[in-house]
Structure 1
Amino acid sequence: MNTLICLARMPEIGKVKSRIAETAGAARAYEIYVQLVKQCRKLLDSLDESIEVEVTLAEPFDFIKGQQFFGMRPFYSLQAPGDLGQRMCVAAIRGFEGGAQKVILIGSDCPSLTPEHISQAIRILDEFPVVFGKARDGGYYLLGMTRVIPELFGNLPWSGDELLAQSVARLTESGIPHGLLPELCDIDTLEDWEEYVG
């Protein structure tokens, strides 16, 4: 079994896309995030039926509202406390404890991500224990694993442009090989969004 877990926030004005809100205001940031969530839902709905889908949300949420935004297909859960690395680690652990052979973690802010990218990640995990989806800003839009690798979750620059490089360096130090997906742009700034919509 393969499990895809989307770490996200429920759309709420003032609580999403803070970097966009700094330049365009909270209302505009909310509008953009809603569009990102709609695109994320299309992705989740389009995935092969053999893939278990989970949406894990950052704050306590209304289940019905969650389904309105992210759809009927996913299993819903609440993210663990802590920084992004801790939340990702717990999500991955839960996925493997639930019986997954491969766990793929994504966010809700990469509208260019397609079911084909997910299928490619699963194929790469047949050969490597780790796969990254390389983001243009130096981070990553996807992390896939065949087991929990603690080196990938502690004390990393989660919002920095060295995230992928430092993650790869840690794997190299531990002798763990990895694969890469094509580079995509995730949406962190108003400029990212404007470039995406053209």
Structure 2
Amino acid sequence: MTQIVVIAKEPVAGRVKTRLTPPFTPGQAARLAAAALEDTLRAVAAAPVRHRVLALDGLPGTWLPGGPESFVVIAQRGDGLDERLAAAFADAYRLHREPVVLIGMDTPHVTPDLLRTAGAALADHDAVYGPAADGGFWLLGLRRPDPALLLGVPMSRPDTGAAQLRRLRAAGLTVATMPELNDVDTADDALRIAAEAPGTRFAAAFRAVAPVMSAGAATGAVTGIATGAGAGTGATGAGASR
């Protein structure tokens, strides 16, 4: 069996999705983050796994489906994102000596079937890796978690995913690869994902806070939506919301 860990930050205005501001206000960005997190948690809740863990920076809220009893909630540990990812893997594996699949809160369009596929891959691979379109990764699974597989991997860079994949292969691990997904970092990303997955809570929240942008999504207009939106790159590992 496999367990799934979601690493996330409590969606508090000014602390999450800061690259969405502007064009969004901090409150709107937090609303989008909460919707993305709830979509992610509901997909995990519907996935065929025995154990579900939420590694949280902050406190649980109404966005936790089924209440606190539906997930084992643990506090994040560490300073840098590499340390927090390594700790989340280690803490989950300490709770249940089973393979661990870890995702972040930036892929509200993830599905239970994708998560099932990732878990199944660990039956005959040492690791499973889900690349993100921005050069990071949206999913990482390890059959036998080891902090050395993550510590020191440079995070929040366009080569984060490539560096993580090199680390896995340098350790001699067999790696299964998942489909590439977009994750939500910028306003362009938000527009694109709301159009790709219109039935999600994230898309509904996006339509509520950005009606002009969501109208553009219907025609496929995903560029030039706001001055400064999407400036920079900054790939993340496992979408631990910024």
What TM-score, normalized by structure 1, do the two folds share?
0.90
One-letter amino acid matched to 1:53: R
Q: Distance in 2 between matches of 1:35 and 1:57?
A: 16
Cα RMSD (Å) = 1.6
Question: 1:87 — aligned with what?
Answer: 84
Contact 1:134–1:184 (Cα < 8 Å) also in 2: yes
Q: Distance in 1 between matches of 2:171 and 2:39?
A: 36
Question: 2:4 — aligned with what?
Answer: 4
Contact 2:44–2:52 (Cα < 8 Å) also in 1: yes
Pair 174,37 (structure 1): closer, same or farther in 2 beyond 3 Å: closer
Question: 2:160 — aligned with what?
Answer: 163
Contact 1:43–1:115 (Cα < 8 Å) also in 2: yes
SS in 2 for 1:24: coil
Q: Aligned-pair distance for 1:115?
A: 0.8
What TM-score, normalized by structure 2, do the two folds share?
0.74
Contact 1:40–1:70 (Cα < 8 Å) also in 2: no
Contact 2:53–2:73 (Cα < 8 Å) also in 1: yes
Q: Report which of the two structures shows the higher radius of gyration computed on alpha carbons.
A: 2
Question: 2:56 — aligned with what?
Answer: 57
One-letter amino acid matched to 1:33: A
Contact 2:78–2:87 (Cα < 8 Å) also in 1: no
Question: 2:95 — aligned with what?
Answer: 98
How many aligned positions are there? 192
Q: Does 1:76 align with 2:70?
A: no
Q: Which runs of 4+ in 1 moved over 6 A?
A: none
Q: Does 1:131 align with 2:125?
A: no
CA deviations over 1:24-46 (Å, ceiling 9, x no partner):
23122112112212212321331
Q: Aligned-pair distance for 1:126?
A: 1.1
Q: Distance in 2 between matches of 1:147 and 1:51?
A: 17
Runs of at least 5 residues in structure 1 that lack an aligned partner in the other structure: none
Q: Percent sequence identity over matched residues?
A: 25
Q: Aligned-pair distance for 1:22?
A: 4.2
Q: Aligned-pair distance for 1:53?
A: 0.6
Question: 2:36 — aligned with what?
Answer: 36
